[in-house]
Amino acid sequence: MSVTVRPLGDKDFFAWLGLFEGYSAFYESELTDQKALQVWSWIIDANNSLNGAVAVDEAGDFVGFAHYRTVPRTLSGDLALFLDDLYVAEDSRGRGVGALLMEFTKAYARQHKLTQVQLVTAADNATAQVLYDQLGTRTDWVTYEIDA
């Protein structure tokens, strides 16, 4: 399977939405029209820090995506890229799509002079962790969520 990765564009909403529905289902998160439109509006808004890329196969089908944003690293006094979401369609897994999306993300970081790519994943997402362990270093940081 030949796959290319490119930035998401204005006309990509419906193809992206199909993948985003799969991503939401994977994490057992209810996806409403309002949520999907909100995330999409962030991605395509040049004034918002969230960006996205899509993996497209030779037939033109979307087979994966990455959502990422620049974040300050206060203790280092520099900027990094935070990978919020990486998803590969179930029928395209195990074919290197995730690695291609990660390479695109790393190239984006280098192009924008960002020092590193940071991400979190679910503790039980062993498949993704295999890829991430090959590309980076697992940290000792513990993540918390606090309702506002």
pLDDT of residue 122: 87
Q: pLDDT 10s digit of each residue in the chain, 148 long?
A: 799 999 999 999 999 999 999 999 999 999 999 999 999 999 999 999 999 999 999 999 999 999 999 999 999 999 999 999 999 999 999 999 999 999 999 999 999 999 999 999 988 888 889 989 998 999 988 888 999 9
Specify whether the CB–CB gap between 103 and 80 falls below 8 A. Answer: no
Q: In 27-116, which residue ranges form alpha helices assigned H by DSSP?
A: 33-44, 97-111
Domains of the chain with CATH codes:
4-135 (3.40.630.30)
Measure the CA–CA gap between 12 and 5, rounded to whole angstroms. 13
Whose tokens are 């991400």? That residue is: 119
pTM: 0.92
109-143 burial, b at 16+ Cβ within 10 Å, e below that, comes to beeeebeebbbeeeeeeeebeebbeeeeeeeeeee
Question: In percent, how much of the chain has pLDDT > 70?
Answer: 100
pLDDT of residue 123: 85
- Note the pLDDT tens digit of each residue in 95-133: 999 999 999 999 999 999 999 999 999 888 888 899 899
Percent of the chain that is helix, strand, coil (3-state, to 5): 40, 25, 35
